[in-house]
Amino acid sequence: MMILGLCLSAFLIGRPNGENDQQSKKGSEVSFAEDLFPVIKKYCAACHSQEADHPSGLFMETYEDVMGEGRHGKAVIPGNAGKSNLYQKLLPAPPFGRVMPPSRRIKLTPEEIELFRRWIDQGAKNN
């Protein structure tokens, strides 16, 4: 119970609620087009494409695709990486299925994974 309480308060305190808070904690703003999309193209889009008729139902060829729904619903909950499959699937022990990308040899760097988290927590903008 104690532990649950601690986690909960960390979660509440950790939520962005002011400009200052956001600036200091998250650093500079991540650009979808310039920072994140190249990473998605490099690691994700080949499988998550219309052409590949991807089984997850989630495509990643455009911003609109990424914001769309896969078999498990919306992959991105703007402002909440902790609830976003797009980010959770990059971490060990994802909520379902395998860690992305599903390959032992290909791995994102911690910095690349962090880009996903920051972009979602900053509102998942088309910027």
Residue reference for tokens 């104690």:
2
Tell me: does residue 124 bind ligand HEC (CB under 6 A). Answer: no
Give the closest residue to 119 by CA, choosing from 7, 38, 59, 11: 38
Tell me: does residue 26 bind ligand HEC (CB under 6 A). Answer: no
Strands annotated E in 37-79:
69-70, 73-74
Contact status, residue 55 vs residue 46, Cβ threshold 8 Å: no
d(CA 127, CA 125): 5
Residue reference for tokens 């695709």:
65
Tell me: does residue 59 bind ligand HEC (CB under 6 A). Answer: no
Tell me: does residue 80 bind ligand HEC (CB under 6 A). Answer: no
CB of 13 to ligand HEC, least distance (A): 28
Tell me: does residue 85 bind ligand HEC (CB under 6 A). Answer: yes
Q: Which of 19, 98, 104, 110 binds ligand HEC (CB under 6 A)?
A: 98
Tell me: does residue 81 bind ligand HEC (CB under 6 A). Answer: no
Residues making contact with ligand HEC (CB under 6 A): 43-44, 46-48, 55-56, 58, 70-72, 75, 85-86, 89, 96-98, 100-102, 108
